[in-house]
Structure 1
Amino acid sequence: MSIHQFSGQSGINSGTLSRILSGQQPIAMNHLERITKAMDLPEDHFYSLYVDECFYFSSPNWRRLRPFLVRSAELGRLDCVEQVVQNLLENLVYAPMLFEVAEGLFREGLWQAAELLYKNVSVSEKYQNSERLALCQYRLFRIAIGDDQTKNLQAAHLFECYLDRLDEADQLDGLKHLGHVYGSMNRWHKMDEIAEKMQQLATIRYNLQRQSDRRESNEKKTEKPLYFYILYAQLIRSAVCKELGDYNSALDWVSLYMDGSWIQEDNEEVKRTMAQFQEWGTANRLLYQVLGGQHESLPEYVEYISHRPDEIFIALYNIILSANRYDWNVDYILERFASYIPYRKYSTEFGEYNRQIMLDQHTKFLAELAAYYLHDNRKEGIKFILQSLESSARINNESNVIKCVDLFGQHRNQADEEENQQYKVQIGVYL
């Protein structure tokens, strides 16, 4: 095919095409895309060669490399992303530019590629006490959080060292995410410490904002309004008191987060936020009475949550806890809400419940459900032990594995041959 013919097929000027072929002009990213398309090849067919083109046959050019980095990330060519980053960071002047690309990829949900950039930029910044280094570590913490609790805890410990170097807006969001990790690990005192710090920081910032007639235009914004973090910290501290069995203190915190009279703003977002916290508070007041052994509050609690589908699983978990603690029969409640027992996602006004916390609660719920049925020597309890073991292995929850092993040992005589075999397989998976 002549240059003229290929020019028509690719849409590239024949003079430009001639200079590219003779090595007189570097190949721009849009030229590469057109050439590849005209040859009817996959878009990333020449990407590995293009890395060589950018570094070994011409000088690095950010106008070419930036779009190439982004498109490599979009197509999952992490090998090309890694090669470009390694070559560019031989000159540290590119670190801020790579960081900005990483931020864009992070916002777009391209977290694997963003992780490569953040890790490499972190290495280039490791001897500096910079906010950019802290931000890299914050993003790496967010990316690292998954279903494995042990890895989540390691990521939290690593990030916490950098927390105070962040802008206060990022600190608040970082504290929120740290609180979720420690909550999913049942580190209640650590969770309370994080919530207290969040409450103090958000209160100081909110009071300063109220005293100022206008916000600085360059002031970094938090994910949520500042009053949300104050209320959310109070909600967390209430939950910690509940987990520690201090229901009176938990109720005191409920009263605080249900009261939004101090909030200066008056708009629809404030109304939605307060409606959600008041709904949580109403449910939690009844819940804490149930957990405290007040059986007479159970029907009212059940009726309240029956109209709020996204609250039903959390309610079931706490009802089973109470039933096992006080020897209640709640069969009628389990039958009524049987469709909410399998794991599913739950949403609120502010988005989905934290996945790690919900997976942890669902794993423990299955173990409590097993204990509930086995208390009356009902064979279906064995099934829930096996389900809880499987979930425990998936999220690496050692304490729940131990609980399941104890339960199975006590009621092994109720398991048939197939269930005994499943039990051995599940234990083998965990070990």
Structure 2
Amino acid sequence: MRVNNRSLRLEIEDQMKLHGYNLNKAAELTGINAGNLSMVLNGRARAMTIGQLDALAQIFGKTPGWLYELYTEECISDNKVSRPRLIPYLVRCVETGRVDCIEPMVSKILDNPKNVSIIFAAAEKLFENERLEESAYFYQLVVDNIKDSFSEFMAISQYRLFLIAQGTDEEKNWKSVIQFEPFRRRLPEYLQLAALLKLAKVSYSLEKWDEVEKFAQELSELSSILYKLKMVEEVSVERHLVYYFGMGLLFEGAVLEKRGLYQEAKTVVQHYADLSWFEPLNESGWQDVERFKVYAQANLYTLEVFMGNDGILNEYADYLESLDQLNETLSGLETIIKSANTHGFCIDHVLQRFAGAIGQFDCFLDDLINSRRYLWVCYHRAVYEFTKERYENGIKETLFCISLCLEMKRYEDLARCVALFEKHRNYASEAQIQYYESIRLWVV
């Protein structure tokens, strides 16, 4: 009998004696079958599972992770690796904080490169359990130890690392796009759809319009191909296929809008206004079809306003209010305020109407796309206040924009906000100038 096995079992036997538990009592308290427990403790026929060790630790009053350092021989013996025991063991090491046990075990596992699939499986389980930072360690091990860059394990690991990296740090977000982009086509179709959509969203938040257009077109094209191949049900795993098809079109239209090609954008919007032909549609699919009708109506209003049609402002405001969705209100107000500055609209009545909603927009600070919209609503609001010669309000909004830029690390936008303040510096109070100068010193 191996030293570690004997040590593990002797520790358990000592605890049973200390607590006065015989085999049947221990089986009763742990819920483990008495016959199985007997074979486990005697080392005959079967090794101990990590779940059984945890159950024993609990009845002995031990902290989670008890004797994990002695569990290695249950997982690897005679150079044979037990996948069914190793994966839950690695996951439990993370969950119980026994990170000291992970590296020695990983080193043994990776003595054979084929065992990288075990590391990958542990990473997937942790990702599924929303232990994202911990799963990143294991995904990086997969990336570092697979030589075949076309491996599906490699592609999925790169995708997961891309997802985990997302946050409000734009430089980090962009680096993650660059790192993952070459692997996007090597994913299984259902993940490729989700990956292309995420790439489009991240690129949109970074205002990388060429990249948004590329990923959006790939998303639309892949969705169309899968639809024609009648693979709707096979790939509708995370979301129905109609959702990805519609989102591809939505982002294509958004890029055209950002480029000022409003008529072309209208044509695209009309394509996703009615997707009821996309069959088969389950309940989730029909919900997506209805959702795109809403998006289309909102975006048609947006395009009309951008083209200078101030006659529909009240109708647009009514529509936004009827949706009662804060993110749609944010997006709509960005359009309305920006258009007011471009075409000279008076929108005081609209701003008053949505004053309550505006006061809630700070909930979007950690949102990838809406945080940027929030910043631009504030910036365009500052410009609008200056055009109306309400300089005190304009300065106040500008300083708030500067603080948002710093919080979100949007330094290009910070330069615009600083330039806006300098242009109207003479209207600032002494207190506002002092605050502004303190920020500038902090930035330097």
TM-score by length of 1: 0.85
Match of 1:228 in 2: 243
Task: Report the alpha carbon displacement of residue 343 of structure 1 after superposing the two structures with TM.
Answer: 2.7
Distance 2:315 2:258 in 1: 22
1:165 aligns with one of 186, 189, 197: 186
TM-score by length of 2: 0.83
Task: Report the alpha carbon displacement of residue 321 of structure 1 after superposing the two structures with TM.
Answer: 0.6
Match of 1:253 in 2: 268
Task: Report the alpha carbon displacement of residue 79 of structure 1 after superposing the two structures with TM.
Answer: 5.0
Distance 1:262 1:31 in 2: 53
**Equivalent residues of 2:193, 2:244 under 8 A apart:** yes
Residues 1:395 and 2:408 aligned together = yes
Match of 1:181 in 2: 202
Letter in 1 for 2:221: Q
Counterpart mapping for 1:253-272 below 5 A? 253-272=268-287
Range moving further from structure 2, 99-108 or 25-34: 25-34
Distance 2:403 2:390 in 1: 22
**Equivalent residues of 1:364, 1:400 under 8 A apart:** no
How many residues in Structure 1 have an aligned counterpart in Structure 2? Answer: 414
1:106 aligns with one of 127, 130, 148: 127
Letter in 2 for 1:314: S
Counterpart mapping for 1:56-95 below 5 A? 61-95=82-116
Counterpart mapping for 1:354-369 below 5 A? 355-369=367-381
Letter in 1 for 2:353: R
Match of 1:410 in 2: 423
Letter in 1 for 2:348: D
**Equivalent residues of 2:50, 2:88 under 8 A apart:** yes
Distance 2:51 2:230 in 1: 47
Distance 1:201 1:245 in 2: 27
- Residue 414 and residue 27 in structure 1: after superposition, are their counterparts in 2 closer, same or farther (change >3 A)? farther
Task: Report the alpha carbon displacement of residue 220 of structure 1 after superposing the two structures with TM.
Answer: 5.2
Match of 1:312 in 2: 329
Letter in 2 for 1:366: C
Range moving further from structure 2, 224-233 or 290-299: 224-233
**Equivalent residues of 1:370, 1:385 under 8 A apart:** yes
Unaligned stretches of 5+ residues in structure 1: 347-352
Letter in 2 for 1:259: D
Task: Report the alpha carbon displacement of residue 140 of structure 1 after superposing the two structures with TM.
Answer: 0.7
SS at match of 1:146: coil
Letter in 2 for 1:144: A
Residues 1:150 and 2:171 aligned together = yes
Match of 1:384 in 2: 397
**Equivalent residues of 2:185, 2:192 under 8 A apart:** yes
**Equivalent residues of 2:216, 2:249 under 8 A apart:** yes
Task: Report the alpha carbon displacement of residue 184 of structure 1 after superposing the two structures with TM.
Answer: 0.3
Unaligned stretches of 5+ residues in structure 2: 1-13, 28-33
Q: Deviations over 1:321-360 (max 9, x none)?
A: 11111222222211221122243558xxxxxx99211111
**Equivalent residues of 1:367, 1:403 under 8 A apart:** no
SS at match of 1:259: coil
Task: Report the alpha carbon displacement of residue 186 of structure 1 after superposing the two structures with TM.
Answer: 0.8
Q: Deviations over 1:88-120 (max 9, x none)?
A: 222223211221222222122111121111110
- Residue 95 and residue 327 in structure 1: after superposition, are their counterparts in 2 closer, same or farther (change >3 A)? same
Task: Report the alpha carbon displacement of residue 2 of structure 1 after superposing the two structures with TM.
Answer: 7.4
SS at match of 2:369: helix
Match of 1:349 in 2: none
1:329 aligns with one of 321, 342, 346: 346
- Residue 45 and residue 377 in structure 1: after superposition, are their counterparts in 2 closer, same or farther (change >3 A)? farther
Letter in 2 for 1:327: G
Counterpart mapping for 1:271-350 below 5 A? 271-310=286-325, 311-341=328-358, 342-343=360-361
Task: Report the alpha carbon displacement of residue 365 of structure 1 after superposing the two structures with TM.
Answer: 1.7
Q: Deviations over 1:244-276 (max 9, x none)?
A: 111111111111111325322254333322211
Letter in 1 for 2:212: M
**Equivalent residues of 1:3, 1:17 under 8 A apart:** no
Range moving further from structure 2, 87-96 or 401-410: 87-96
Report the RMSD for the aligned CA atoms in angstroms: 3.1
Residues 1:8 and 2:25 aligned together = no
**Equivalent residues of 1:70, 1:105 under 8 A apart:** yes
Give % identity: 28
Letter in 2 for 1:154: K
Distance 1:168 1:158 in 2: 20
